Amino acid sequence: MTWKPCPREGADHLALPLDPRQGYLLSRLDGTLEVPTLAALMNLGEAQVLAMLGELVALGAVDPAMPPVQQSQARSPEVLPEPEPPSSEQTEAEEDPTAALAKAATHRQLFEQHLHARPLDQRVAHASRALEPDLSAFCFDPTAEVIRAVLDNPRVGILHARLIATHHRTAAGLEALGSRMAFTNDQGVRRALLQNPLLPAALFRRLWSPKRLLEQYLVAASHDSPEQIRAMARDLLRTTFNQRPGEERVELILTTEGRCLAGMAGLTLDSHATALMCRRTYISTLFIQNLARWSAAPPALIAHLRRQDVVKRNVALRQLLERHPNAS
């Protein structure tokens, strides 16, 4: 189960010796965000965030990743069954990234030296019934027809889908992969597609339209995806923003500290979402600045922000809100 860290109940967080980064990370924890999401929000690596979470656990500020084993369970004499050895497909899917890259290079070399020179109709026929290592090698074929034949091969699996998502460069071939839900539901395939500059816009929208606004935003803000894919994510986010419940829109704004609003010009919040925003007390100057720079911020929200203690004590924030077009 993926760890979704949350603050420990009853802990006096204000009394703990936290540095600014630890304090900011602690303020983001609500039990709903996974470590990769937290890493993206903080612009840090997952290993760094995990190390910080370990420090917070040691300080007693955050619940540990796994609940402690109950004493009654620890004393239980039951004998646990030996785990089954992993299947070959599981072992290959979880192998070291360096080994995976080495295998991919070998398969590409096999295709270029022994398979590429064959006529297209022969490659299609061979790919539809190929065994390893030829089946993996055909994932590097540049034609959509061969990719369709690979996907029709009864021996095709997740590893082949990941190779196609990573290396194939025709929209038709990627669309053929996108039609197989068993493959597009795999996180490795999705990550590879987000890094493929030829990912078709229609396929991107089909796969990411059902996702939460926060997940769409993380794609738009990702440094790992090409600019054209980030642009597709920004367009999708603008399209779906007003179609989602107020709670989901508020979640996006709060979790990103208003950073998402830079791309929301011309959009606004309905009365329900505004009421949810006005129920909270705000202490983050960055969050208030981002809201104050959003020209569509509702008048009720601007009035609520002007009543916050942090605004009353900060002349620059107060003046920024007073100049907002919806300030009364």
In angstroms, rounded to a whole number, what is the distance separating the alpha carbons of residues 222 and 216?
A: 10
Please tell me the predicted confidence (pLDDT) of residue 76: 44
Low-confidence spans in the chain with pLDDT less than 70: 1, 13-15, 20, 43, 65-103
Q: Per the omega criterion (within 30 degrees of 0), is the bond before 119 cis?
A: no
- The reported pLDDT for the residue numbered 302 is 96
* Cα angle 326-265-302, degrees, rounded to a multiple of 5: 25
Q: How much is the pLDDT for 229?
A: 95
> What global pTM score does this model have?
0.68
Average pLDDT, the chain: 85
**137 neighbors 164 (Cβ within 8 angstroms):** no
Q: Are 281 and 254 in contact (CB under 8 A)?
A: no
Q: Which tokens hold the place of 172?
A: 């038709």
Residue 41, amino acid: L
Give the pLDDT confidence score for residue 74 in this predicted structure. Answer: 40
Angle subtended at Cα 169 by Cα 167 and Cα 175, rounded to the nearest 5 degrees: 100
Give the pLDDT confidence score for residue 45 in this predicted structure.
78
pLDDT the model gives residue 7: 84
- Distance CA(285)–CA(131), nearest Å, equals 60
pLDDT value of residue 131: 93
- Residue 33 is predicted with a pLDDT of 83
3-state secondary structure string, the chain? CCCCCCECCCCCHHHCCCCHHHHHHHHHCCCCCCHHHHHHHHCCCHHHHHHHHHHHHHHCCECCCCCCCCHHHHCCCCCCCCCCCCCHHHHHHCCCHHHHHHHHHHHHHHHHHHHCCCCHHHHHHHHCCCCCCHHHHHCCCCCHHHHHHHHHCCCCCHHHHHHHHHHCCCHHHHHHHHCCHHHHCCHHHHHHHHCCCCCCHHHHHHHHCCCCHHHHHHHHCCCCCCHHHHHHHHHHHHHHHCCCCHHHHHHHHHHCCCHHHHHCCCCCCCHHHHHHHHCCCCCCHHHHHHHHCCCCCCHHHHHHHHCCHHHHHCHHHHHHHHCCCCCC
